[in-house]
Amino acid sequence: MTSRRLFLLGSAVLLALCACKWDLWGIVTRPNVEDRVRENLSGDPPAPGPVAVKPDSFRFAVFGDPQIQHDNVNRLGKFKQEVAARSIDFFCALGDLTNDATGDEVDSIKSDLDRVGIPYYATIGNHDLFQADGWERFKQNYGPSCYSVVIAGRIKLIFLDTADGTVGPTQFDWLETELQDSAHVKIVLTHFPVYDGDKPMMWRLASDAERVKVQGLLEKYGAYAWCAGHTHGLRHMQVGAVQHFTCGAMAPDGVGLDYGNPGFLLFTFVRDSLSWQFVELN
Amino acid sequence: MKRLLTLVVLFAATARAAVVGSAAIGYRGEPGVESEMQAVLQADITPVRFFKVDAGLSLNLFQNNGLGAAHLGLAAEVYSPAHLTLRLAGQHQQWTDWQAGENRLLVVFEAGPLYGLDAGAGLVRRVPVFGDRYSSPLVWSSDAAEWNFLYRLRWKFIQRENWWIRAGLSSYDRFTAHNPQQFPLEADGAYRLRDGLELAGLVSTAIVGYSGGLASFHDLDLSVGVRHDF
């Protein structure tokens, strides 16, 4: 390659980086997962409390990736219709709430999530950190990115912060402590999947050893499921006794990774029995 | 696996095999995941020209104690001018503390070194095994099995009479096959102590999160040892 071609290629890469909406310096200097988790576990911001549901019968939806952009298009309007039709009590949003984490996007998605009209929980995704103040804005709007909550004294939802593509030492210890609870059905909800089909793809949790350790802990302490977003689409795998879900995206067509149809995962709890189904949103 | 071992022994016994053996100690650390010392033994046997057999064992100390990984590989040079080699390898890695293991089958085309550069590309079938059978290298089906791409590009940028240094990226080695969502960087080198004996060292790390636009250095591998040409 001639030096002229190298120069042109370098210039094109630089221009592309300058043109994107991400705050590249902010991405480099942002708090990493270890910083965020320590802040979360200090109790400030406080973790959200349990929503009020009928103790023997409730439904909740799980999805990821509304990935809202400047045009404010997403599928939350359609989701609101499903909430009414299926009597959904609350929902969980698994990160990538915005595409570029700009102030406008952050404000828009908060309004849209609120407009669904039922309680919800959220955790953070990698796209929510694409501006220097991404973490500050997230916790102002939604609270911590790593916390647990027990619903109706039956189901423990454990929200993990995997926005960096890794769990981190402090959060691993915390996760193991949370999983040791044998009194509840335990569901882990986070952004990155651990297992998600057998195709070669680079969007799963990072290292081999880390994935194996996560699965080992889930098995050891009898977790019911790992629910994730990030790769868009509705997929289910059972590894050992643990259910692994990719829970669907609320993003409009053509945004990000499109490995499947948009939609959400619906859990139904009736008289000590938990069941699930995928609901497509076209 | 037993048949392959038999083949290795037969080749070594019946041909004038060139054998390179190495022994090393090392450290592997990954924040929040594992931190352990390792002892590694390897042998490269060339029973006939254009054909090589390699095998190795890695033992863990202080975490996931005992056998850490094992491998057995066969390589055949298919195009001499570019040193193009087809490599088939089986790997078994295990983590005793989590009752977890992984068996892998690698198929890789490697080329070089040419002008100090060597490259590789291929596929790995990854078969995680959990529970009672985690330590078996004979389990080749799993609910969590998956395909991954493998790649390598390294440059030996300093080559002197008694020593050399190489740097680059490699998503696989004898005992591991990184996931594609890790971006692995490494540097290694060797110093000739005397004829047929080298002091060798390696340092490597991996960047994680880059696939999501956020990158951080993650694990650290260090090893130092000796390599003997028999």
* Interface predicted TM-score (ipTM) of this complex, two decimals: 0.87
B214 with A164: Cβ contact below 8 A: yes
pLDDT given at position B197? 95
Q: What fold characterizes domain B2-229?
A: Porin (2.40.160)
Candidates B143, B181, B218; nearest CB to A239: B143
Query: What's the pLDDT tens digit per position in B34-47?
Result: 999 999 999 999 98
Chain B nearest-CA distance from A202, in A, is 4
Going by pLDDT thresholds of 50, 70 and 90, the confidence category of residue B176 is very high
> What percentage of residues in chain B have a pLDDT greater than 90?
77
**Tell me, which fold does domain A23-280 have in CATH?**
Purple Acid Phosphatase; chain A, domain 2 (3.60.21)
Q: Evaluate if residue B60 carries a pLDDT over 60.
A: yes
Q: What is the pLDDT of residues A200-240, one digit of tens each?
A: 888 898 888 999 999 999 999 999 999 999 988 999 999 99
CB contact under 8 A, A213 and B100: yes
CB within 8 Å: B214 and A163: yes
What's this model's pTM, rounded to 2 decimal places? Answer: 0.89
Q: A201: distance to nearest CA of chain B, Å? A: 7
**pLDDT grade for B54, boundaries at 50, 70 and 90:** very high
Surface-to-core class of residue A46, CB atoms within 10 Å of its CB (0-12 exposed, 13-18 middle, 19+ buried) = exposed
Residue A24 has pLDDT above 70, yes or no: yes
SS (H, E, C) chain A: CCHHHHHHHHHHHHHHHHHCCCCHHHHHHCCCHHHHHHHHHCCCCCCCCCCCCCCCEEEEEEEECCCECCCCCCCHHHHHHHHHHHCCCEEEEECCCECCCCHHHHHHHHHHHHHCCCCEEEECCHHHHCCCCHHHHHHHHHCCCCEEEEECCCEEEEECCCCCCCCCHHHHHHHHHHHCCCCCEEEEECCCCCCCCCCCCCCCCCCHHHHHHHHHHHHHCCCCEEEECCCCCEEEEEECCEEEEEECECCCCCCCCCCCCCEEEEEEEECCEEEEEEEECC
What's the pLDDT score for residue B11? Answer: 56
For chains A and B, count residue pairs whose Cβ atoms are closer than 8 Å. 143
Mutate to test the interface with B, among A36, A130, A210, A242 (most CBs of B within 10 A): A210
Q: Find chain B residues with C-beta within 8 A of A34's C-beta.
A: 31
Among the partner residues A27, A173, A212, nearest to B128 by beta-carbon distance: A212
For residues B88 and A156, give the distance between their C-alpha atoms in angstroms, rounded to a whole number. 46
**Which residue is closest to A30 within chain B, CA to CA?**
B214
Residue with tokens 């079938």: B125
pLDDT bin (cut points 50, 70, 90) of residue A45 is confident
pLDDT at B49: 85
Least confident of A54-58, A125-129, B30-34, B121-125: B30-34
Of B93, B144, B181, the CB nearest to A165: B181
Identify whether the C-beta of residue B53 lies closer than 8 Å to the C-beta of residue B90: no
pLDDT reading at B7 higher than 70: no
- Closest chain B C-alpha to A31 CA, distance in angstroms: 11
Chain B nearest CA to A104, separation (Å) = 20
Residues of B in contact with A197 (CB under 8 A): 146
- Do the chains contact at B144 and A209, CB–CB below 8 Å? no
Residue B163 pLDDT exceeds 70:
yes
**pLDDT for position A3:** 63
Cα angle A23-A29-A30, degrees, rounded to a multiple of 5: 80
Q: What does the pLDDT read at residue A112?
A: 95
Query: Does residue A60 register a pLDDT over 90?
Result: yes
Whether residue B37 contacts residue B225, with contact meaning beta carbons closer than 8 Å, is answered with no
Give the distance between the most distant pair of CA atoms in chain B.
54
Q: Say what the pLDDT of residue A20 is.
A: 65
Mean pLDDT, all residues of chain A: 90
Q: Give pLDDT, residue B13.
A: 54
What pLDDT is stored for residue A18 in this prediction? Answer: 54
A240 contacts on B by Cβ (under 8 Å): 130-131, 143
Q: Which of A166, A174, A195 to mutate to test the interface with B (most CBs of B within 10 A)?
A: A166
- pLDDT of B8 > 60? The answer is no
pLDDT digit string (tens) for B75-92? 999 998 889 999 999 999
**Is pLDDT above 70 for A58?**
yes
Most B CBs within 10 A among A212, A244, A246, hence the mutation to make, goes to A212
Average pLDDT over residues A61-83: 92
Strand, coil or helix: what is B22? Answer: strand
* Residue pointed to by tokens 């960087």: B185
pLDDT score for B212: 75
Highest mean pLDDT (candidates A208-212, B96-100, B104-108, B172-176): B104-108
Please list every residue in chain B whose beta carbon sits closer than 8 Å to the beta carbon of residue A167.
32
Please give the Cα distance from B31 to A79 (Å, whole number). 39
pLDDT tier at A73, thresholds 50, 70, 90: confident
Give how far B148 is from chain A: nearest CA, Å: 4
**Closest chain B C-alpha to A229 CA, distance in angstroms:** 12
Name the band, by pLDDT with cuts 50, 70 and 90, for residue B1.
low
- Kindly determine whether residue A207 and residue B176, on different chains, have CB atoms separated by under 8 Å: no
Which tokens hold the place of B30? Answer: 């990954």
pLDDT classification of A253: cutoffs 50, 70, 90: confident
Looking at the complex, report in whole angstroms how far the Cα of residue A208 sits from the nearest Cα belonging to chain B: 6
Contact A206 B144 (CB under 8 A): no
Contact assignment for B100 to A168 by CB distance below 8 Å: no
Q: What is the pLDDT of residue A16?
A: 59
With CB atoms and an 8 Å threshold, state whether B144 touches A208: no
Give percent above pLDDT 70 in chain B.
Answer: 93
Reading phi first (left if > 0) and then psi (alpha if -120 to 50, else beta), residue A87 is in left
Q: pLDDT-based confidence at B213, cuts 50/70/90?
A: confident
Compute the nearest-CA separation of B151 from chain A (Å).
13
pLDDT tier, B218 (very low <50, low <70, confident <90, very high otherwise): confident
Identify which of B128, B147, B212 has the shortest CB distance to residue A200.
Answer: B147
Q: Say if residue B15's pLDDT is above 90.
A: no
**A151, pLDDT greater than 90:** yes
Quick one: pLDDT at residue B12? 55
